[in-house]
Structure 1
Amino acid sequence: MKILILGSKGFIGSHLEDYLSRKGHDVWGADILVDYSGNTNYFLIDETSSNFNSVFAHTGYDICINSSGAASVLESIKNPLRDYYLNTVNVFRILEAIRKFQPGCRFLNLSSAAVYGNPQRLPIVEGAPPGPLSPYGVHKHQAEQICREFYNFYKLHTCSVRIFSAYGPGLKKQLFWDLYKKIRSGKPFALFGTGDESRDFIYISDLVMALEIVSEHSDFKGNIINVANGEEIKIREAVAIFSGCFDIETKYSFTGEVRKGDPVNWQADITKLKQLGYRPKIDIRTGLQNYLEWVSTSENN
């Protein structure tokens, strides 16, 4: 397949580009960062004012995977307008360019479990009522609605995937990155929450494999698919597993304080994803050991 990845320099986008290239696909990329590698299959785009016409006007693709946009709950609270432009308006602009120049190109929109907020029950099915707790979650939900709109009214083939808690090499933020820095300090530290909060973690290699499966087997009729491992893991358990990977005695506590925009418990129902052929390969222990090896090497270099 000829595949365009928007946001190809980001955490998910860069892994996806590497993975799909190794699988023999013809992969093109676009992002706001200058590419110094000499890659000719790359478009430099503007963060908030690009109309995306130049990306689609002269090169045809089988599918466009949108991994671009803002990815911070806290930043969305501080600057909701920027988050709105990056996560909602740009999706509209992308789909308008596809409608104008390549109506046969499928569009895979990377959404987020943040759309669910605090669900009424676990595991969370795709039909669960949305309840976003932040502008980020609201804007991701609006982007999904735009994808459905373009399918319903213009018959553009769209699909949105709600990604749960992704982690792995290349990610220098969120829980495990913060944990690494605190553990390496050798000092006692405190973490937000009670530790009884839970997440459904998915390792980056499983995630990009899932995206390929959805790209090849979903019907792209404005539908939504959960992307996760389908396992609920308490934060205190994840912290204990990661701490156990170090040769350092670790002392920590939980503050009981809940950060604005953070959900309490997540676990995805991944029945739809499994029906397409997905089976996770990396468990949390293996994934965290891999992450520690990467981040240790990265810091030393």
Structure 2
Amino acid sequence: MATDPASDLDGKSVLVTGGAGFVGSHLAAALTDRCEVTVLDDCSTGDPDAVPDGAAFRRGDVRDPTDLGEAMRGVDVVFHQAALSDVGASVRSPVEGHRRTASGTVKVLDAARREDARVVAASSAAVYGQPDTLPIRESDRKTPVSPYGIDKLAADQHTRGFADRYGMETVALRYFNVYGPGRAGDRAGGKVDGVVGAFLDRARSDRVLPVEGDGTQTRDFVHVSDVVRANLLAATTDATGRAYNVGTGTGVPVREVAERVVQLVDSDSEIVHVEPREGDIDHSRAALGRARSRLGYEPTCDFEAGLATLVDRATVPS
């Protein structure tokens, strides 16, 4: 495996949709020294301050043909991160969720087809729903339990379908539970994204840490740096037209995450169990055989090390 998967992208023109968000801003930051980077984001949830200085920023919506067409012009590779990422919001507004995630992806794919650009699209482990067996393989049954998961599955299938139908170079990456320092341009210095970030935020102020259900449910927590690396590998692989899991292959109980955060922060927070979310899955853990053999992907940041780094970062005054 190449030590620098971005080296084959030197001099390329790339577009990062949703590049003012969590994963997108880290991805854009990893590319600005070697590529001509454009970020397209409507900033409905993203922060324009997160866009790295070396990237051209366009405030716009992937569903708007003018915004998308201007951002896509002359692009070699598209990293499509833009979507409605809030599961709860997708339940409250399923039509809007479909428009932003499924319809938005089709529009990006079609615009990229006209530019003959490769598309690396963010999919999700939510496409699998409640798994039959662990670890979860890409070929396993897909029964998503939320509108978000359904929309991600539609986007995932369209991404692979455009490769079959139009001969495009596309890759869908099924992210498991991504965590890590917040948006790459976050000036606050202490922000951490995801459930890990929520626990850290509460623990630092000695507030209650709510754990849904009994806390024995496990999740595959993958550091954002490994997600970025998977995207760079997907942008240069010959094994296109496929979907790949992006995780660590290790399941961590949610209760254990809360306990570890309290311990590392030396917090007086109490861990309290609350009602489980309706439709929540019990366990999630990625099988990485396909990603290893086809992409050369290997996770490099184990959860203990990644969490300790975030705690150290979060306790530094901003």
For normalisation by structure 2, the TM-score amounts to: 0.85
Cα distance change on mapping 1:21 and 1:115 into 2, 3 Å: same
Which residue in the other structure is 1:142 paired with?
154
Task: Return 5+ residue gaps in structure 1 as ranges.
Answer: none
2:82 alignment partner AA: S
Of the three residues 27, 31, 50, the one matched with 2:37 is 27
Query: Which piece of structure 1 moves more, 179-188 or 67-76?
Result: 179-188
What secondary structure does 2:222 align onto?
strand
5 Å-filtered alignment, 1:14-93, equals 14-22=25-33, 24-33=34-43, 35=48, 41-46=56-61, 48-50=63-65, 52-56=68-72, 59-93=73-107
Q: Could you give the per-residue CA deviations for residues 29-74 of structure 1, whole angstroms, max 9, x where no partner exists?
A: 2111385787673322136444522222xx3222111011110111
Structure 2 residue 279 is the aligned partner of structure 1 residue 268: no
Structural RMSD (CA): 2.1
- Give the conservation status (yes or no) of the 8 Å contact 2:192–2:310: no
Q: Could you give the per-residue CA deviations for residues 94-145 of structure 1, whole angstroms, max 9, x where no partner exists?
A: 1121223x12x11111000000111000000000111111000000000112
5 Å-filtered alignment, 1:206-285, equals 206-221=226-241, 223-255=242-274, 257-275=275-293, 276-285=295-304
How many pairs does the alignment contain? 292
- Give the conservation status (yes or no) of the 8 Å contact 1:74–1:261: no
Query: Which piece of structure 1 moves more, 233-242 or 110-119?
Result: 233-242
Cα distance change on mapping 1:11 and 1:259 into 2, 3 Å: same
5 Å-filtered alignment, 1:122-133, equals 122-133=134-145
- Give the conservation status (yes or no) of the 8 Å contact 2:102–2:152: yes
Which whole-Å CA distance do the structure 2 matches of 1:147 and 1:271 have between them?
Answer: 21
Which whole-Å CA distance do the structure 2 matches of 1:76 and 1:40 have between them?
Answer: 30
What secondary structure does 2:264 align onto?
coil
Task: Return 5+ residue gaps in structure 2 as ranges.
Answer: 1-8, 183-190
1:54 alignment partner AA: E
Q: Shift of residue 293 of structure 1?
A: 3.0
- Give the conservation status (yes or no) of the 8 Å contact 1:30–1:42: yes
Which whole-Å CA distance do the structure 2 matches of 1:27 and 1:49 have between them?
Answer: 20
Identity %: 28
- Give the conservation status (yes or no) of the 8 Å contact 1:214–1:273: no
Q: Shift of residue 148 of structure 1?
A: 2.4
What secondary structure does 2:78 align onto?
strand
Q: Shift of residue 294 of structure 1?
A: 3.2
Which residue in the other structure is 1:165 paired with?
177
